[in-house]
Amino acid sequence: MAAEPGITVDPLFSGTREIRTNRRAALRRELDEVRRVRTATVILLVLAILGAPLTFYAIREAASDPVLGHLGALEVPGWAARDPQDEVTGSRWCIGQCRLRQRILRSERAPDETSAVYTTALRKAGWVPWKIAGCPAEGQQGVESCWQRDEYVLDLWVYQPECEVQLKVPDPNQPATPLAEAVCPPTVVTLKIINRVSFETENGA
């Protein structure tokens, strides 16, 4: 408001009013900033709550391997599938190196009987024998066979590890007791699965 002619405006009053105006403007800016921060925080929390389940399922899907799940579904008796252990190397999507899956199990029975139940289970699951040079490997102990299904090849190897001779403490009450006995570990079952394209590339097929 302009001063009327002949009336002098007190500079102190004018300066005080200007300071108050600036303070109100600064306060409004601070309040607006607080509201923006609160709004952004709420939005981030909502996105985190909604996105957490999707992220969990995405990670679980990426980590799960349907090929290993297929091996776990083979219909073999319990005595032939003790203590399963999985080893995985390479990329599931063949980036750099195709994935190699290996499952190692223990069987309570001999290699021939164990191999027979796995052969039956593989045929029932849709695998067909694959006749290829080098399978079975020459001079390898146990029973080995190769299989194919879709884009995968499978190597089944069932063998008996070497037995160990253990000494026994003599029993004076039983002079005919042998002083040593052979202790044989359980039969080992290995199932290796790899993409056919990777197998053919590595073996020059």
pTM of the model: 0.62
Please report, for the chain, the start and end positions of each structural domain, with discontinuous segments joined by +. Answer: 1-64, 66-203
Cα 126 to its chain centre, rounded Å, is 24
* Cα–Cα distance for residue pair 86/75, rounded to 1 Å: 18
* Cα–Cα distance for residue pair 79/47, rounded to 1 Å: 49
* Cα–Cα distance for residue pair 168/112, rounded to 1 Å: 30
- Reduced to 3 states (helix: H, G, I; strand: E, B; else coil), residue 107 is strand
Per residue of the chain (205 residues), give pLDDT as tens. Answer: 444 555 554 554 455 656 666 667 767 777 777 677 677 677 767 666 765 554 444 344 444 678 888 898 999 999 999 999 999 988 877 777 888 999 999 999 999 999 999 999 999 999 999 988 888 888 888 999 999 999 899 999 999 998 877 666 666 676 666 666 767 889 999 999 998 877 655 555 5
**What pLDDT is recorded for position 73?**
92
**What pLDDT is recorded for position 200?**
57
User: What is the DSSP secondary-structure string of 115-134?
Assistant: HHHHHHHHHHTT-EE--BTT
